Amino acid sequence: MTHQGFTLWFTGLSGAGKSTISAIIEKRLREAGAKVEVLDGDVVRANLSKGLGFSKEDRDTNIRRIGFVCEVLSRNGVIAIAAAISPYRAVREEIRSRIHNFVEVYVEVPLEVVAERDVKGLYKKAMAGEIPQFTGVSDPYEPPLHPEVMVNSAKETPEASAGKVWAKLKELGLISL
- Model confidence over 9-20: pLDDT tens digits? 999 999 999 999
pLDDT at 50: 79
Residues with catalytic roles: 86
Reported as a single tens digit per residue, the pLDDT across 134-157 is 898 988 999 999 999 999 999 999
| pLDDT level of residue 37 (50, 70, 90 thresholds) | very high
DSSP string, 123-165: HHHHHTTSSSS-BTTTB-----SS-SEEEETTTS-HHHHHHHH
The SS3 assignment for 37 reads strand
Contact 3, 175 (CB under 8 A): yes
Closest CA to 85 of 32, 153, 11, 28: 11
**Stated pTM of the model:** 0.93
| CA–CA gap between residue 84 and residue 19 (Å, rounded) | 8
For residue 110, is pLDDT > 70?
Answer: yes
pLDDT at 152: 97
For residue 120, is pLDDT > 90?
Answer: no
Q: Which amino acid is at 55?
A: S
H/E run at residue 72: helix 56-75
Looking at the chain, the whole-number percentage of residues with pLDDT higher than 90 is 73
**Domains within the chain, CATH numbers bracketed:** 2-110+142-171 (3.40.50.300)
